[in-house]
Amino acid sequence: MNHPAPTPWKVAVTHEPTRRAAPPEPVHDGPRYPFDHHAEGFAHDPWSTYRELRERCPVAWSDRYDDGFWVVSRYADVQAVAMDDAGFSSDREVVLPATRVGRIIPLNADPPDLTRYRHLLNPWFARPAIERLETEILAFTTQRIDAFIETGRCDLVTDLANPVPAMTTLALIGLPVEEWHAFAEPIHRSSYHRAGHPERDAATVAIGGLRGRMRDELAARRRAPREDLLTGLVRAEAEGTIDAQEAEDLAVMVLIGGVDTTMAALSSAFLRIQRDPALRERLIGEPALLGPAIEELLRVDPPVQGFARTVTRGCVVGGQAMAAGETLFMLWGAANRDPEAFPDPDAVRVDRSPNRHLTFGIGGHRCLGATLARAEMRIVLTEVLRRLPDFAIDEAGVELPDTIGIVNGIVREPATFTPGPRIGA
Ligand code: HEM
C-alpha cells in the first residue's frame, strides 16, 4: 500500500486531455484493500476501517462486487470527484452492489438531463415549500408521540423515526399518509439486508409493486390534477419537459430518497444524545444550539456512507491513476471524519465551525431533500427533548441492521421515559 500521499486540500482530479473512444482494459495497479461496506461486523464499526483507509491507502482497489471498484476515503478526493460530473458518471446505479430497483432520477442521470430534472424538482424542495410542509411534520410528530406518551415507553425508531419521515415524504409526493407503513417497509428491507438475502429479494419485488402504484397515481393525476408533486410531474409531462417513464422514475426517487435516510439520521441522533448527557443538557437548556448540533450529528453519523460513480475517461484521483469504465466508491462517511477537514473528527462538537460535511453529498447531485431532512430533524428532536426529555434507550434492545452499506441507521431503540399528557386533538 505504498501509495503517494496527496496534498490535502490541493488534490484535484486530473484528466487526460481527450475522452477515450472506448474503455481500455482496467489497470487496477494501485494499492489493494479488501474493502466491503456490507461485510459482517462492518455496521458495528465502520470508523476504524475508514481511518485505516485514509491513513494507509486513501485511494485503494477493492475486488468486491462485480468487477471491483476504487474506494476513495479522503475529504479532498471525495469532494473533487463529486464535483466532477463530466469525469465521473452517475448513469449506472450509484449503490454497490446494484439494488436493481430500476432507474431512479436525478440520482442515475448526468448533465444535461440531470439539470433538466433538478430544475423541475427544485421548487418542491426549496425553502418556501418546506416551510409550508413544516405544519404537517409537526402534526405527524405530535400524533406519533401522543400515541405512546402516556405509557412511558416506546420504540424511538419504529414509533417515531420511521413513521414521521415516511409520512412527510408521502405528503410531499401527494400519496395517502396513512399508508406510510406499506410504502416504507420495502424500502427499509431493501436497504438493511445484503444482496442475496431473501428479505432483500422480496423487498426488490415489493418496490416493483410501489412503482406500479406510482404509475397508477400518476395516471389518476392526469385525469384529476391536485396540488401535489405527482401533479407537478404530469404537468411537466404535458409540457413535454419529461416523458411518462421519467415522471415515474422521479417520483420513485423522491420516495426512496425521503424515507430511509431521515429515519436513519434520527435514530443515530437519539443514540448519540442518550450517550452524551452533557449534550442532552445543552440542547434542552439552549434550543438555539439544535441547528448546529444537527449538522454535527449528521457529520459523525451520515446516513448514506458512500455512493459510486463510473470513471468516464482516464484520470488521476489522489495520485492514483484510473481508467475509463472503472467504478469508484466515494465514502462520505470516511470524508466526514477526515482530520484534515475536521479537527478532532470523532468528537461531537456542537459549535464546530465551519462544518462542511458531505452527508448530503456535494456538487451536481447534492441532496435535493437536505432542507426537508433538516426541518424534520429539527421538529422531531425539539419535540422529543421537550416532551420526553429523560428518554432512556435500553441499549441491550438496540438492534442494528445486517448492513449499513446503503443506509446507516438503527432498526430498534426501545426506550422508557416519564409519562406525559397527550396534546393533539
Ligand atoms: C438525512 C437525510 C438525507 C441524507 C443523508 C441524504 C443523502 C443524500 C445524498 C448523499 C445524495 C447525493 C447522491 C449523489 O451524490 O449521488 C442525495 C441525493 C438525493 N436525495 Fe437525499 N438525503 C437525505 C434526505 C432526503 C430527503 C428527505 C429527500 C426527499 C424527500 C431526498 C431526496 C434526494 C434526491 C431526490 C436526491 C437526488 C439528487 C440528484 O441526484 O441530483 N433526500 N441524498
Bridge partners of residue 415, in order along the sequence: 154, 393
User: Is residue 80 domain-resident?
Assistant: yes
- Rounded-to-integer distance, Cα 270 and Cα 167, Å: 19
Cell of residue 14, nine digits: 486530473
359 CB near ligand 1 (under 6 Å): yes
User: Is residue 259 domain-resident?
Assistant: yes
Check which CATH number belongs to the domain holding 252 and give it.
1.10.630.10
Residue with cell 421537550: 386
Q: Does residue 283 sit in helix, strand or coil?
A: helix
368 CB near ligand 1 (under 6 Å): yes
309 CB near ligand 1 (under 6 Å): no
Q: What is the pLDDT of residue 15?
A: 59
94 CB near ligand 1 (under 6 Å): yes
Give the pLDDT of the chain (425 residues) as one tens digit per residue: 333 333 333 344 665 543 444 444 555 678 999 999 999 889 999 999 999 999 999 999 999 987 899 999 999 999 999 999 999 999 988 999 888 778 899 999 999 999 999 999 999 999 999 999 999 999 999 999 999 999 999 999 999 999 999 999 999 999 999 999 999 999 999 989 888 888 888 988 999 999 999 999 999 999 999 999 999 999 999 999 999 999 999 999 999 999 999 999 999 999 999 999 999 999 999 999 999 999 999 999 999 999 999 999 999 999 999 999 999 999 999 999 999 999 999 999 998 999 999 999 999 999 999 999 999 999 999 999 999 999 999 999 999 999 998 999 999 999 999 999 999 87
User: Is residue 392 domain-resident?
Assistant: yes
Q: Quote the number of domains for the chain.
A: 1
Q: In which domain, by residue range, is 137 found? A: 14-416
141 CB near ligand 1 (under 6 Å): no
User: Is residue 425 domain-resident?
Assistant: no
Q: What is the pLDDT of residue 67?
A: 86
- Rounded-to-integer distance, Cα 227 and Cα 167, Å: 17
DSSP string, 377-395: HHHHHHHHHHHSTT-EE-G
Residue 253 C-alpha to ligand 1 middle, in angstroms?
Answer: 9
Q: What is the pLDDT of residue 30?
A: 80
| Each residue's pLDDT tens digit, 327-356 | 999 999 999 999 999 999 999 999 899 999
331 CB near ligand 1 (under 6 Å): no
User: Is residue 2 domain-resident?
Assistant: no
Residue 5 C-alpha to ligand 1 middle, in angstroms?
Answer: 31
Residue 108 C-alpha to ligand 1 middle, in angstroms?
Answer: 12
User: Is residue 24 domain-resident?
Assistant: yes
* Residue 373 alpha carbon, nearest atom of ligand 1: 27
User: Is residue 421 domain-resident?
Assistant: no
User: Is residue 422 domain-resident?
Assistant: no
Nearest to 394, CA basis, from 271, 309, 283, 214:
271
Sign of CA dihedral 212, 218, 222, 225: positive
336 CB near ligand 1 (under 6 Å): no
Q: What is the pLDDT of residue 424?
A: 82
The residue whose CA has the least distance to atom 37 of ligand 1 is 107
Residue 417 C-alpha to ligand 1 middle, in angstroms?
Answer: 33
Residue 152 C-alpha to ligand 1 middle, in angstroms?
Answer: 34
